[in-house]
Structures are given as structure tokens and as C-alpha cells.
Amino acid sequence: MKKTLILSITTVLILILALVSINIKKTSDLDESDIVEEKKEKVLSKKEIEENEINDIMNSLSLEEKLGQMVIVGFNGYEVDSDFRDLLESYKVGGVILFKRNIKNSEQLLNLNNNIKSINSKNKLPLFISVDEEGGRITRLPEGSTKFPSNKVIGKENDKDLSYKIGKQIGTELNNFKFNMDFAPVLDIYSNPKNTVIKDRSFGTDSEIVKKLGVATMKGLQDSNVISVVKHFPGHGDTTVDSHIGLPVVNHDKQRLDKFELIPFKEAINNGVDAVMTAHIVLPNVDKSKKPATLSETILTDILRNELNFSGVIITDDMEMGAIVNNYGTKNASVEAIKAGADIVLMCHTKEKQIEALEGLKEAVNSGEISIERIDESVKRIIKLKRKYDLNDIKKKNN
């Protein structure tokens, strides 16, 4: 009896050891691909978490709040006036741009931006607080700030490290005044000596120099936690008409753009640019519809999005410039820009036209001319960018 019991126990133990051995072998047999796949699942889960957080924010927004995110506005004066306050409180606009007309001195500018942020704090999303600070003649910062050289001067030095340091210092000073977005650097190549609107704002006439120095400046801005918006896509360097006044026409074909104008923009995209500003120029040999780039699906979606693989935010140049307002009207043009692939329309001056744009977009969605899915695509990109630069810590604010 005892022998039989001992034999049974021994048999059970042998079976247990055999099973353990098999399991150990199975575990040890996991190859590298299994481990890589497991890691991939962890990475994907992080992306899914981020996507879920963004979707939570999206679900909390009304249509009006979503459309507000798709407009950046300007206003007059050194203080927040009733018109701008209404745009913040009633229309929930997503950003503001300041000019010299808004900046008196350092103390006033800091107080203004802090006041803007305070008024907007009741809204669900923080603001892009933006400015054109290129250096040279395009400067907005108050007296006492660093006077940065023009891109033309930097281009003559042709020093990548210098460009980066200048970009970083511009970003640092903008940060000090609570700006978080700079419409710079200019990536246009100055290929037409009759071009007065670009001129010394360009790093030069050579695509490689513009590419190298422009991307270095962009990196400097980003590393100081300022969003760099490169401009003016697909290239405003070979024009004679100033798009602030009229509508320039450039007769280059796609092949020419690939070999010249697009080179700096391709490099910026490959190096992680966050936002691109459009040009109000017509390229009839690229888009047969003869719409300006800002309103061209061929240029913004087919080329910039699909061909160049740009997944960031597309912002129009000011829709109150002569090239647009005199030929298309701001309301219609704002709708056409979003349909073409833009995410944000920039409206720098007039409250009436800013509201026209917002109402035009709302009408287009309600009529089915623009789908809500198309609106959501843009708003998600905007939220991702605001999260990336931790504007008012969106994640915490919405948890």
C-alpha cells in the first residue's frame, strides 16, 4: 500500500516537473519578433490613450466652439476692446495675432497678453498668441528688445549655428511676453529682384542656403517652446505683385516647384515643422482652376498633405489682404480655404469680416458643403499642436 502511494506521488511529481519544464521551454522559445510585437502594442496603447484624450476634448466642443478654433483674429489698440472680448467670449476664437498697433512698451505688452489669457481662461482650449517676428524690418517687439538682423543679413553669413541661435533667442524673448506662436521663418527664395514684398525677408537666392538657414531658425524657435509657422507655401519669392494689394500670378509648373521653391518646405517638413502658412498666389500651370494657393485643393491637399506628407496645421495668410478680399470676398474665401485643406483662417483686422468668416463656415457645415468630419480633422490637428506645446496644460484642464 505504502509502495503504491509513494509510486503515485512520484508519478504526479514527475508530471508536474514535466509541465513546468514545457512552460519554461515555451517561454524561452519566445523569439525577438514576439518581444518587438509586445513593445509595439505598448506604443500603440500610448497613442490610443492620447487619441482618447483628444476625442474626449472633441466631444466636449459644440460646433461653434470647433469653428472658433479654426480662426485666428487681430484687433486694434493697446488693450482688449469690446469687439475682441466678444470674439473670445461669444465666438471662442482659437487664437490672436498682435501687431505694432497693439504694442506700446514692454510692460503694456505683457499685461495685454496676460489679460487676453485671463479672459480666455473660461474657454475649454487655450489660445495661440501669435506675432510676426522675423527680424529686420518685420519686427513687432517693443523698444528695449533685441533688434534682430534681417534674413538677408543672416543669409550672407551662411552660418547654420548662428541661424539656430537667433531663432532660439527670438523664441526666448517671445516667451517672455507670453507669445507661443511666431509666423516665421520665411522660406521663400528671393529669385525675382523686382519682388518688393519678400526682398530682405528671404535668406537669399539659393535654395540650399534658404533650406539650411530656415530650418535652423525654425528649430531654434521650437527649442524655446514657440511654434514656428514657416511661410509662404508653396513659395512667394518669384512675384512682382504684392499680395497685400493685388493677386500675384506665377507661371511655374510643378516640375519647377519641385526643383526650386519647394526645397526649403520639404526640408522643414522632414525636420518636424508644426505649421505652414499659405501664399495668396495663383499658379495656373499647377492648378488649372487658377485659384490662389490658399484656396487650392491641388496645392494644399494634393501637394502639401498627400505628396509632401505634411500632417501639421495649415494656416492661411491674412484673408483681409487685397489678393483675397478684392477677388473672392472673405466669407466665401474662408469656406474655400477650409475645403481646400487649410485648418485655420487668419483674419487680422475687422470684426465684421471675422464674424462673416465664422458664420460662413457654420452655414457651409449646416448646408453640407463642408462635412463635420472635415471640421473635426482640422480641430484635432489644432488640439494636438496646443497639447504638444503645453499651452495652459490642456490635458489637466480637461480631465
Whole-number percent of the chain with pLDDT over 90: 83
C-alpha distances in angstroms, 42 versus 32, 34, 38?
Answer: 16, 13, 7
pLDDT at residue number 219: 98
Q: Does 317 qualify as catalytic in the annotation?
A: yes
Q: What is the pLDDT of residues 89-140, one digit of tens each?
A: 999 999 999 999 999 999 999 999 999 999 999 999 999 999 999 999 999 9
pLDDT at residue number 394: 47
Of 107, 116, 83, 166, residue with least CA distance to 347:
83
Q: Does 236 qualify as catalytic in the annotation?
A: no
**pLDDT range class, residue 42, cuts 50, 70, 90:** low
Q: Which amino acid is residue 226, in one-letter code?
A: V
CATH hierarchy code of domain 64-397: 3.20.20.300
301-306-311 Cα angle (round to 5): 85
pLDDT at residue number 49: 83
Ramachandran region, residue 79 (left: φ > 0; alpha: ψ -120 to 50; beta: rest): beta
d(CA 360, CA 381): 21
Catalytic residue among 182, 317, 318, 343: 317
Catalytic residue among 244, 258, 390, 393: 244
